[in-house]
Chains A and B, each alone.
Chain A
Amino acid sequence: MSLNAIGKVALAVFKESVRDRVSYSLVLFSVVLMGASFLMSRLTAGQDLKVTKDLGLATMNAIGLLIAIFIGTGLVSKEVERRSIYSILAKPLSRSSFVVGKYAGLVLTLAVNLALMTIAFYVMMLYMTWTTDDWITQGWRAPALDPGLLVPIALLGVQLMLATAVALFFSTFSSPLLAMLFTLGVWVAGHFSGDLRNFQTAVDSPAAIALARGLYYIVPNLSVIDVKNEIVHGKAVPWPSVGIGVAALLAYVGALVAAATLVFNRRDFK
């Protein structure tokens, strides 16, 4: 595996992704949604800042996930379907470098998109500060331009890295549609990881409990690093568990990319 080759593949993925209309329109859509959340917050009494922050972060979450799923699941499978894989794999480039380069390229795309959405989010917050009366802003628990908001955004980045790795892994051996469903499934299950662990409190069936427990151990725990509510509502963030969660997710990402590489290295491209 060559870092040089990985970088070149990543750059090509980035170049193609930023020109893809899906990516463009999703980022644009997120800006519109954030604007809409600002308007909605005006309808709430006293909770306008929290609502705007909540909806803004939720929008970033949803749009980031959509980009990760739409582009991630097509990363390899579209190359196979379109047969563009034939030309690229005949170049002096190992299959492992190709897969890792693809992953790195999409992570770079997501990082840039997330950065753009973050800028749009802070611009909206700035506008909110300017247009809100002083007597209201003095009642806000946290400032509108709270640098702490960068924490859930950065942690969202880690979650999206995982979603991309899941999408990449499934796209190495299944169709884009199946990969999409699997990735969405892992994302949803990952956010309900705590519920899976305590499934026995909700159902009596031993089989269902065993299944939920099995899923709890297999599926990555995304809820542990989801600190949007804590930041927005000014609550304490459980940093030790967040740190462990991030480390575990990054290890999971490494394992998934390695598994994707293993599958891809053995695959026939008929």
Chain B
Amino acid sequence: MLAIETEDLTKDYLVGFWRPRPYRALDHLSLAVEPGEVYGFLGPNGAGKSTAIKLLMQLIFPTSGTARILGRPVGDVKMRRRIGFLPENPAFYDYLTAEELLTYFASLFDIPASVRAARVARVLDEVGIGAERRMRLRSYSKGMVQRVGIAQAIINEPEIVFFDEPMSGLDPLGRRDVRQLMLRLRDRGCTVFFSSHILSDAEALCSQVAIIAQGRLATSGRLSDILGTEVLGWELVVDRVSPDGLALLRAKARALTELPDGRYAADLPPHQPEAALQELAAAGAHVVSLNPLRKTLEDVFVAHAVQTAARETAGL
């Protein structure tokens, strides 16, 4: 059974006050997410990521198409016992404390009162909310609200968790914590479906990704399949370079950058770096490192964004 499945999921909004006309926010999205994966749902701002997640949470209703979570229709209230959801820029009740909010949400999952307090305390510990848990949420910073948002999404120990832009509002430490949390959830067997436009997070976390642009699925699949194994070039770092060696390096490299401590970083073409290495060694240069340059998620992302923009310009 698939964890998440959508088929031709489409959402049109009516825009304009006097003469409303449909605007397609999501266009025939078909996804299949296997259980136990960290699935990155990527796309630029306004691509339709949040629309898709809201359709999965049934916060909005589809114009056409279907969606199922854990084999059940998205409108199934009982199914929601098994999932968690962090909305983008979450907001809660100002006059409740984090502890009270989580206790309230835990009660909606019918978590027994005997274990509720311990569960709330453990989840708040897990997201790094300390003594502030007894303060009212109105006094929280954006990052702290985000942490509470993550806590409420995992209070029921979900089988699938949906995170809409989970890194939003977090400082670097917070982002690291959330990345580690997502990996811990995966290790516990939880499927993590998260949307982001921060590609480094996706590269660090995801086994599968889908890239969406202008409401349409641009590509999806295993990250390794999307990025491929093709070497696009080599990044060579050398030091102790003589004037002759530097001239040689300039001739061979597509780009050359001077680094501190007399080091140079060269971008070499993909074919046969060995010859260049031998010639540089002969000129007395010392090789510090040589790394292959491969396609990054950013390259794929930008390529799809450019294609989409070109299609739009052509009126396709």
**Which A residues fall within an 8 A CB radius of B?**
4-5, 8, 12, 15-16, 19-20, 82-94, 266, 268-270
Min distance, Cβ A165 to any Cβ of chain B, angstroms: 22
Beyond the given pairs A83-B91, A90-B84, A92-B77, 17 more chain A to chain B contacts, judged by CB atoms under 8 angstroms and listed by A's residue number, are A8-B104, A8-B107, A15-B95, A15-B100, A82-B91, A83-B90, A84-B91, A85-B59, A87-B86, A87-B87, A87-B149, A89-B57, A90-B57, A90-B80, A90-B85, A92-B110, A94-B77
Min distance, Cβ A7 to any Cβ of chain B, angstroms: 9
List of B residues within 8 angstroms of A83 by Cβ = 87, 89-91
Main secondary structure of the interface of A (DSSP, over half): helix
List of B residues within 8 angstroms of A12 by Cβ = 93, 96, 104
CA of A270 to CA of B88 in the docked complex: distance in angstroms?
A: 12
Contact of A86 with B108 in the complex, beta carbons under 8 Å? no
**Contacts A91-B109, A92-B77, A269-B60 known; A86 to B13 CB distance under 8 Å?**
no
**Contacts A8-B104, A268-B59 known; A16 to B95 CB distance under 8 Å?**
yes
Interface residue B140 (Cβ < 8 Å from any Cβ of A)? no
Min distance, Cβ A23 to any Cβ of chain B, angstroms: 10
CA of A73 to CA of B298 in the docked complex: distance in angstroms?
A: 46
List of A residues within 8 angstroms of B91 by Cβ = 82-84
**Contacts A19-B95, A83-B90, A86-B85 known; A91 to B57 CB distance under 8 Å?**
no
Min distance, Cβ B4 to any Cβ of chain A, angstroms: 14
B19-55 Cβ-contact flags toward A at 8 Å (1 or 0): 0000000000000000000000000000000000010
Contact of A86 with B77 in the complex, beta carbons under 8 Å? no
**Contacts A16-B96, A87-B85 known; A270 to B13 CB distance under 8 Å?**
yes
Closest A residue by C-beta to B86: A87
Contact of A86 with B80 in the complex, beta carbons under 8 Å? no
List of A residues within 8 angstroms of B61 by Cβ = 266, 268
Please, could you name 30 A-B residue pairs with CB atoms under 8 Å apart, sorted by A?
A4-B110, A8-B104, A8-B107, A12-B104, A15-B95, A15-B100, A19-B95, A19-B136, A83-B89, A83-B90, A84-B90, A84-B91, A84-B93, A86-B54, A86-B57, A86-B87, A87-B90, A87-B92, A87-B105, A88-B108, A90-B87, A91-B109, A92-B81, A92-B109, A93-B77, A93-B108, A94-B77, A268-B59, A268-B60, A269-B54
Interface residue B78 (Cβ < 8 Å from any Cβ of A)? yes
List of B residues within 8 angstroms of A16 by Cβ = 93-96
Interface residue B127 (Cβ < 8 Å from any Cβ of A)? no
Interface residue B238 (Cβ < 8 Å from any Cβ of A)? no
Min distance, Cβ B27 to any Cβ of chain A, angstroms: 17
Top 7 A-B pairs ranked by shortest CB distance? Answer: A86-B87, A90-B85, A19-B95, A268-B60, A92-B80, A269-B59, A82-B91
Contact of A91 with B105 in the complex, beta carbons under 8 Å? yes
Closest A residue by C-beta to B94: A16
Q: Which of B59, B93, B96 contacts A90 (CB 8 A)?
A: B59
Name the interface residues of B159-197: CB closer than 8 Å to any CB of A.
162
Contact count band on B: 35 or more
CA of A90 to CA of B87 in the docked complex: distance in angstroms?
A: 10
Contact of B92 with A20 in the complex, beta carbons under 8 Å? no
**Contacts A87-B87, A92-B109 known; A15 to B57 CB distance under 8 Å?**
no
Max count, chain B CB within 10 A of own CB: residue among A8, A12, A20, A88? A12
CA of A156 to CA of B104 in the docked complex: distance in angstroms?
A: 31
CA of A212 to CA of B36 in the docked complex: distance in angstroms?
A: 64
Contact of A5 with B95 in the complex, beta carbons under 8 Å? no
Min distance, Cβ B105 to any Cβ of chain A, angstroms: 6
Min distance, Cβ B185 to any Cβ of chain A, angstroms: 17
Min distance, Cβ A8 to any Cβ of chain B, angstroms: 5
CA of A147 to CA of B77 in the docked complex: distance in angstroms?
A: 47
List of B residues within 8 angstroms of A5 by Cβ = 108
Max count, chain B CB within 10 A of own CB: residue among A16, A92, A269? A92
List of A residues within 8 angstroms of B105 by Cβ = 87, 91
Contact of A92 with B78 in the complex, beta carbons under 8 Å? yes
Closest A residue by C-beta to B100: A15
CA of A163 to CA of B61 in the docked complex: distance in angstroms?
A: 31
Closest A residue by C-beta to B59: A269
List of B residues within 8 angstroms of A19 by Cβ = 95, 136
Interface residue B6 (Cβ < 8 Å from any Cβ of A)? no
Q: Which of B54, B58, B107, B152 contacts A87 (CB 8 A)?
A: B152
Min distance, Cβ B291 to any Cβ of chain A, angstroms: 43
List of A residues within 8 angstroms of B85 by Cβ = 86-87, 90
Max count, chain A CB within 10 A of own CB: residue among B13, B80, B104, B108? B108
CA of A270 to CA of B59 in the docked complex: distance in angstroms?
A: 8
CA of A12 to CA of B104 in the docked complex: distance in angstroms?
A: 7
Closest B residue by C-beta to A89: B59
Interface residue B83 (Cβ < 8 Å from any Cβ of A)? yes
Closest A residue by C-beta to B11: A268
Closest A residue by C-beta to B162: A90
Q: Which of B58, B96, B149 contacts A15 (CB 8 A)?
A: B96
CA of A87 to CA of B104 in the docked complex: distance in angstroms?
A: 12
Contact of A84 with B109 in the complex, beta carbons under 8 Å? no
Min distance, Cβ B89 to any Cβ of chain A, angstroms: 7
CA of A89 to CA of B84 in the docked complex: distance in angstroms?
A: 11
Name the interface residues of B220-279: CB closer than 8 Å to any CB of A.
none
